[in-house]
A and B are shown apart, each in its own frame.
Chain A
Amino acid sequence: MSSCGNPQSTDADELMPRRLKFGRSRVCVRCRENPGNIVIRHAVYCRDCFSPLVTMKFRKALQPAINASAGTSKRPRLKAEGNLLMAFSGGLGSSVLLDIIHSTYFSGQPPVDEDGNPVGGKKHPRNASVWPSASVCYVEVCSAFPGMRDRTEEVRGAVEQYPSFEFVPLRVEDAFDKSWWEQVGGAPSAFQLSVDLGIGNLSLASASSTPPDLTPVESMRTYLASLPTPTAVSSAIQNLVRMLTLHAARSRGASHLLLGTSLTSLSIGLISSISQGGGYATREELQEEWTPSGFGSTETSRPISIVRPLRDVTMKECAAYAWWNDIKIVGRDKSARAIQGIANLTKDFIVGLEKDYPSTVSTIARTCAKLAPKDAPNGNCILCQRPVQHGIQEWKSRISIRSYADAKLALAAHTHPSSQCDPPAQPLDPMPSLTPRLCYSCHTTLTSRSSRGLKTTGHLPAPLPVWSKQSGQSEMRDAIADYLLDG
């Protein structure tokens, strides 16, 4: 009878010779002359051939996304419609991103005439940059983690190595700061949208139950403290950083937002996102175009292409490129990595997998690139601005098991307090719910409870990020108008 356990003798396996991680030869597969210095997915490259290989992959991933329309030319001149914004975390991928963008598109001097002026004049198309200006956006998240060091100045030092780039420092609490929102062109608003995360249907909180004016840091901490699991906290911070960067790009008239996501990080992001209910937005995780709505001028509401030019370059290649090109890595504080959510567990799994099976990581990305949603989206999520799938709540209610206690709690919260002591009185209409305006992933982030039990936050309504007002302002304001106090 066969057994599912380990075979009796594993000696034979232990004595098997280890498989080499490269082909037969140690000579570079590209120049076929120099001895190899690095193994990339079983292929050997010398140091001289390695850096051009990385920059070639980088340009191949980026350049098709630069021109809005290539026309009939086979090699169209690269010219973007707007400015460039690069998201910088101080990590390996974004440091390599900055370096390659600078050396490829911003360090070249146009040919000059005898007087030192650019040939054909400064305005000659040949001498124009691909993007009129380039900025680097860094979002400091130290306020979300007690005891974490503020690294803005270190990051500023790293960015200042590239004089063509303007540094745009942001803080994660800006997501709850009305003045920042108005600075980046958002509509001024007197009311703070809050949601009650203690009950299943995510009712918007009325003005009477909304906490008094909180500072942006307090609002952010209340929001994060209301989330049910460590995975939700990690995912919410990631989403806040993403949306802050998007709005920074929009406000600076950017047509392209570049992220330093390597192939390894991309595979981690894909698996992690799918496991948190983000399967419908898999295409957006790979490459997306965001069209801001509700902002005045055309310059600040043009579509922004979010591109990951390092999506074909593994973390190992990034590390070797950074080392051989003397790129300084600021690094991330360990408290940010300490959250044991799905994202970090997925990272450990994929990085371990890449060590022994280096091709599997690219297989994840290539397989996900073939996925497409079955039907058209039903608008965008007000928290993450990614597409919302049709009928997700009906589906969720069919497959979810809700306890009687949840239903009772929700009913009690939707009923006017006086109605509980005075049964004949008519209950007020329930507060509008946030649920229909959320994508499956954000809804799961806000509601999926830990198997270790529900966090007790005393049912304080959690303030929502400032952009959620813009996204659903008119309809929600109408719905909750009776409950609002003039601010």
Chain B
Amino acid sequence: MSSDTLSLKIEFGGGLELLFSNQRIHNISIPASVPLDNSITSADSIPPADVKQADVTFLMHYLRETLLTERPELFIDNGTVRPGILVLINDTDWELEGEGEYVLKDKDEIVFISTLHGG
């Protein structure tokens, strides 16, 4: 199971793409099972009790470790996205989907939009 991967489409908007090499769309693959502590090491060598299904919280950590190029504090704050960033999961507000606990599925589309660009 842990060798299964999920293909995801990640999109950044509202200026957040500037933190990710100024690239708006990223197509990534992540493991379906991941460590409970959200580290990006392989879950194969970890006891089953310390493994979970990949969720949005893991995805945020994964993006911070692998794609973020500058100022991580503008993306993650206290283990979740920074206030002022709107997250859409398959075009739906992540608040309706359980926020960080939403278990990712293959071909999911996740959008992060910054609202902090003033009036």
Contact = CB atoms under 8 A, between A and B. Distances in A.
Interface in A307-330: 310, 315-316, 318-320, 322-323, 329
A265 B96 contact: no
B83 A37 contact: no
A282 B100 CA distance: 39
Residue among A38, A47, A260, A265 with most chain B CB within 10 A: A38
A362 interface: no
A322 B92 contact: no
Given A36-B96, A355-B83, A89 B113 contact: no
A214 B115 CA distance: 39
Interface size class of B (residues with CB under 8 A): 20 to 34
B110 interface: no
Given A37-B92, A44-B96, A351-B84, A323 B118 contact: no
B119 A91 contact: yes
Contacts of A331: 14-15, 18, 117
Interface in B38-89: 83-84, 86, 88
Interface string A44-55: 100100000000
B13 interface: yes
A318 B95 CA distance: 17
Given A92-B14, A319-B86, A329-B14, A39 B95 contact: yes
B111 interface: yes
B96 A22 contact: yes
A332 interface: yes
A21 interface: yes
A188 interface: no
B117 A22 contact: no
Interface residues of A, number: 39
B83 A329 contact: no
B118 A91 contact: yes
B96 A39 contact: yes
A265 B119 contact: yes
Given A320-B86, A331-B15, A92 B92 contact: no
Contact of B119 (A39, A47, A262, A337): A262
B115 to A, nearest CB: 4
Given A316-B86, A351-B84, A329 B93 contact: no
A247 to B, nearest CB: 20
A332 B117 CA distance: 6
A477 B15 CA distance: 48
A92 B93 contact: no
Contacts of A351: 83-84, 115-116
Interface in A331-360: 331-332, 337, 347, 351-352, 354-355
Nearest to A262: B119
A322 B14 contact: yes
B117 A92 contact: yes
A261 interface: yes
Contacts of A259: 119
A414 interface: no
Nearest to B16: A331
Interface in A245-288: 259-262, 264-265
A94 interface: yes
Contacts of A322: 13-14, 113
A39 B115 contact: no
Contact of A22 (B15, B91, B95): B95
A108 B92 CA distance: 31
A316 B119 contact: no
Contact of B93 (A38, A93, A260, A337): A38
B94 to A, nearest CB: 9
Given A320-B86, A323-B113, A351-B84, A92 B118 contact: yes
A329 B117 contact: yes
A26 B115 contact: no
A337 B115 CA distance: 14
Interface string A83-94: 000000111111
Contacts of A265: 118-119
Given A26-B96, A323-B13, A352 B117 contact: no
B99 to A, nearest CB: 8
Nearest to B17: A331
Give the top 6 A-B pairs by smallest Cβ distance, nearest first: A91-B118, A93-B119, A331-B15, A355-B83, A319-B115, A315-B115
Interface of A: 21-22, 26, 35-39, 44, 47, 89-94, 259-262, 264-265, 310, 315-316, 318-320, 322-323, 329, 331-332, 337, 347, 351-352, 354-355
Given A315-B115, A323-B111, A355-B84, 9 more contacts: A21-B95, A22-B96, A36-B93, A318-B115, A319-B115, A322-B14, A323-B14, A332-B118, A347-B116
9 contacts: A22-B95, A39-B93, A39-B96, A90-B117, A91-B118, A93-B119, A264-B115, A323-B86, A331-B15
